[in-house]
Amino acid sequence: MKLKGFTIVVGVTGGIAAFRAVDLVSALKKQGVEVYVVMSNSAQQFVGPLTFEAISGNTVHLDILESPPGWKFPHLELAEKADAVVIAPATANFLSKAALGMADDLLSALLLGCESTVLICPAMNSKMYRHPAVQENIKKLNDLGYSVLTPGEGHLACGDTGPGRLPDIPEIISELEKDLTVNQDFNGFTVLVTAGATREPIDPVRFISNKSSGKMGFALARAACERGARTILVSGLLHPATPPGVQLVETATAREMYNEVLKHYSTVDVVIKAAAVGDYKPKEVSGQKIKKESGQLVLELEKNTDILMELGQKKNKQLLIGFAAETENLEKNAVKKIQKKNLDMVVANNVHIKGSGFNSDNNMAKLLFPGGEIKELPLISKSELAHIILDNIKKLK
Ligand code: PMT
């Protein structure tokens, strides 16, 4: 009964699995959830709205232009009421609309107005599910901060066998429980996270940068915010969508990142430095585009300030968590960083491992502490790693 007292909007789109959404609504009602159902036009071809109305005990919402008495805008009213929105089943067409941010019907418009948890449960033919366009849309939806469940495998209504079945109802419920009952253990704390790559200009059109996508830092900011922290995210210019509730500060160069981090430093409890900050910058930046000449072009580089090291020197009450991106001697180099930069923990990732580190959705890391303790973690999603890092920070507090 973990979901008792929550309000959940169930969005049903037009697939054969629409009939299983009836069981989902029924299971939620049994837990004491207030359920509002929104159906797409095609969903109504599979199951009648009356069924959902009877099971949910609420009017079923079908049209963005039809407001129940006292409601001005149904998409915004529903988005406001919802502690979570679950789309089950989500068709390939719906994934595509949601990934694009379209708002041409009640359900897609509702998503745009929604700042709560969104859980998307795709169900479709396995060839459709595997199509690169669908996979790309799922990636975009993950980047937008939605949780997208992996469909079940097995015999499908179309006769094919493979991935594409709506996940089992207990799995959907347990995912909702996980999302809605996150521990608010960072309530009252301010966490500053840095993310992404810095850019050091060479001339007006060129810069030196690195492969950081911002995914690790953004996962940390999302997790900290979900757990109740006031969260400031100082990021490089290329980054995923900003998680709801997080204060984003965009910076280009290491100097700009330094200024922003230092501006907030005295007011924060925890700093987590996941950004890949350029160690060097061109000594001189050309005011005009550098022309191609015969022979070599030599760029003279000078060192950037090490932001983390300076934070370590100025440390007062703050907990300071650094990252170490290494391609060799992971532990040895990470231990050196703890001492040199006065850190409370370092997250060491070997960025040579396939599917881990820069620009991947997963990461394999070791957590190292000043007392010599080392916690080795397997390859896990950046979101899972973010929560484990926060669990460990909480123990340091
Ligand atoms: O962004 P993603 O694509 O998700 O990739 C994630 C990541 C691989 C970038 C991330 O997991 C990571 O390892 N971030 C740290 C990258 C890095 O710069 O590591 P480093 O070992 O060079 O630096 C050590 C620490 O000092 C880092 O916390 C860094 O933020 C900090 N630093 C470094 C240089 C500098 N001038 N100022 C700093 O504050």
337 lines ligand 1 (CB under 6 A): yes
Cβ–ligand 1 distance for 307 under 6 Å, the answer yes
158 is catalytic: yes
Closest residue (by CA) to atom 5 of ligand 1?
A: 358
Mean pLDDT of 115-134: 95
- To the question of domain 190-283+300-396 being in CATH 3.40.50.10300, the answer is yes
Question: Whose C-alpha lies nearest to ligand 1, atom 33?
Answer: 277
How many A from CA of 124 to the centre of ligand 1?
40
Task: Kindly indicate whether the domain formed by 7-181 is annotated with CATH number 3.40.50.1950.
Answer: yes
What's the pLDDT at 27? 98
Structure tokens at 396: 């340091």
Q: Work out whether the CA dihedral 240, 183, 25, 81 comes out positive or negative.
A: negative
- Which of 114, 121, 158, 225 does the annotation list as catalytic? 158
Tens-place pLDDT, residues 75-124: 999 999 999 999 999 999 999 999 999 999 999 999 999 989 999 999 99
What pLDDT, on a 0 to 100 scale, did the predictor assign at position 240?
Answer: 86
Residue 372's pLDDT is what? 96
Q: Is the CB of 343 under 6 A from ligand 1?
A: no
Please tell me if the domain spanning 7-181 has the same topology as the one spanning 190-283+300-396: yes
The residue ranking higher by pLDDT, 11 or 226, is 11
Pocket of ligand 1 contains residue 235 by CB under 6 Å: no
Atom nearest to 197 CA in ligand 1: 1
How far does the chain reach from its first CA to its final CA, in angstroms? Answer: 32
pLDDT value of residue 387: 95
pLDDT band at 228 (very low <50, low <70, confident <90, very high): very high
Q: Is the CB of 281 under 6 A from ligand 1?
A: no
Test site for ligand 1: of 308, 327, 352, most ligand atoms within 8 A of the Cβ: 308
Residue ranges per domain, the chain?
7-181, 190-283+300-396
Q: Give pLDDT tens digits for 174-215.
A: 999 988 988 889 999 999 999 999 999 999 999 999 999 999
Q: How far apart are CA 110 and CA 86, in angstroms?
A: 12
pLDDT given for residue 375 in this prediction? 98
